[in-house]
Structure 1
Amino acid sequence: MARIPGQEWDSSTLHDRSRAWFVTKWPGNYAGAPDMEMLFVIEIPNSRCLCMKLFPSAGRGWEHQVLNDLAATHQAPDALITDDTRLQHVLVTVGSSFQQPAIAYLDKPITLMPAIHRCLVSLTEILNQPLFQSQLSTEKRNEALELWRIGYNDRDGASAV
């Protein structure tokens, strides 16, 4: 991954006001919804989860609208980072559409960044809980994921905007 002078994407803090979103997705069957896809977006450096939700996998490109909607409700980032090569073109397209265009990166080991790793561990815990797994509807699973997202953002004051 290219580095921007003065910034370390693999540290828990950035040295200036730059912000990035780590964006990835997984098959919905990880959450018991095989006809869906899970989109995960975490804001770096403050480790605030912006999106953890199941979406219908109704075709290619649905991620564009979701990311544009997030940028409309949250300050658009300076950079978009993914570990998924299939999402790289989405991030390039979405990032260039922002009023202040964002740079897109592909960085496979970014999930080893401590802040992202801690978030993924927490997320894995909820996905493995029997109460979560017993939810039959996608709506109920998304409600549980949203409660997790809110709780995760509220830890240690991390949700401060």
Structure 2
Amino acid sequence: AAERELRFREKERLIEEQRKEQARLEAEERRKEKARWVSGTAGGVWGCWGPWAAQPRAVPQEQQQREHEEAMRDRGRHRESIEKAAEAAVLVSQRSQNPRDFFRQRERSGSTSSPPLPGPPLGTRPGARRPFLRYQRSLTESAFIFRRPDPPPSPGPLQPGAFRAVPP
């Protein structure tokens, strides 16, 4: 247990060092970017590199600073969204079944075994009167998809609490 705790603390220390190093690199990058904006070497009138870079900037210094800060915020938002997407991917990968496959399977089994619903009068759109009917029906059906199994045909030991999925 002590060895496991030691390994855990070592991993924590390494992660913290990586975070500090990343923060230091980002701060250095921001400092360099700011210095480049202040010195006016960030590009010409259109922010281009090349022959236009020597032209004087038509944008005031304050606006340049605001644009730069906005760009840095956008980078942060982008990084956060990437992290959130990665986290969501990890959560999805831990699922035993793809949710889309689950609902497709339910649709297939529900469409073959359930009686057809009375259709709307001709000339009307199918979902115009009650758009949530399908959703409501699926919620009520899901409450009844599990029931006790039928008794076995041969006299065998019945396992208490055994359930099986039955299509609605």
Higher strand share: 1
Please indicate the TM-score interval, normalised by the length of the shorter structure.
under 0.3
- RCO comparison, higher one (Cα < 8 Å, 6+): 1
* TM-score, length-scaled by structure 2: 0.20
* TM-score, length-scaled by structure 1: 0.21
Which of these two proteins has the greater Rg computed from alpha carbons? 2
Higher helix share: 2
